[in-house]
């Protein structure tokens, strides 16, 4: 299959190399910072002619970049989306669903830095409460703090607006479960940690789930587990196995 990329930072480069290793073809990279020698088109802005013929486009850029390029990309191919905070914008979420139906293409979302998204989705009909607490270093959150501080507590919709590059995990839980307004988010900045940790609590009729995941960070906003899980999600999509979809 031919796979294109919107954004090619840490996660994107891991996925690009994985595509090559598994015998698929890189269709293009769209990224103003990508300067490596390439045997595929490298573009800086949306180009429907380049998108044409691509089987899957992987977005691992930003929520804003996803919104700006979405229509042209979904018209050409299925999408695997990592910037899930974009869908906290209700109007964009509904637009994305409608465009997917119109184009006949699918929108896939990966579990990213957490585990158990399938279980959350399966329990949606009997869930009554969902919450997630994330603890990261202040630097990872773009903050300059010297003490452990709760920097956000409220709805996941608000968390996505406040920290759009840091809470894609929260958006994934909301999309799989009770939605952005009924899922509660707590974000803690702790200068003493060198990990990204997430604790998810799910309550419902006869159920209580606690999911705890911790991954060392290699700098920036991404932990060491996320590129690994991203490659697993890509494999499942390319092999037509079950992954989470809007449509």
Give, for 237, the enclosing helix (H) or strand (E): helix 225-238
Q: 18, 105, 111, 198: which is the annotated catalytic residue?
A: 198
Give the dihedral sign, CA 213/214/220/222: negative
CA distances from 111 to 45, 133, 175, 209, 231 (A): 28, 16, 11, 17, 11
For helices 63-76 and 90-103, the axis angle rounded to 10 degrees is 20
Q: Is 111 a catalytic site residue?
A: no
The CA-based diameter of the chain, rounded to the nearest angstrom, is 55
Residue 146 · residue 191 · CB < 8 Å: yes
**Residues belonging to the active site:** 198
């Amino acid at each position: 299959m031919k796979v294109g990329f919107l954004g090619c930072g840490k996660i994107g480069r891991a996925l690009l190399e994985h595509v090559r290793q598994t015998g698929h073809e890189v269709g293009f990279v769209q990224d103003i910072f990508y300067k490596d020698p390439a045997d595929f088109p490298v573009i800086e802005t949306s180009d429907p002619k380049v998108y044409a013929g691509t089987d899957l486009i992987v977005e691992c850029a930003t929520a804003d970049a996803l919104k700006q390029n979405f229509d042209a990309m979904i018209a050409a191919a299925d999408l695997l989306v990592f910037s899930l905070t974009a869908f906290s914008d209700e109007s964009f979420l509904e637009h994305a669903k409608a465009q997917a139906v119109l184009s006949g293409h699918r929108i896939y979302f990966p579990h990213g830095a957490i585990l158990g998204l399938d279980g959350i989705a399966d329990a949606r009909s009997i869930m009554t409460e969902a919450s997630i607490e994330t603890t990261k270093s202040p630097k990872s959150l773009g903050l300059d703090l010297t003490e452990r501080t709760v920097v956000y507590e409220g709805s996941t919709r608000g968390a996505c607006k406040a920290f759009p590059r840091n809470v894609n995990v929260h958006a994934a839980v909301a999309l799989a479960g009770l939605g952005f307004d009924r899922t509660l988010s707590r974000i803690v900045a702790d200068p003493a940690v060198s990990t990204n940790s997430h604790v998810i609590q799910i309550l419902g009729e006869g159920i209580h789930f606690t999911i705890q995941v911790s991954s060392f960070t290699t700098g920036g906003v991404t932990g060491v587990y996320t590129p690994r899980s991203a490659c697993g999600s890509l494999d499942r999509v390319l092999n037509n196995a079950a992954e989470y979809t809007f449509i």
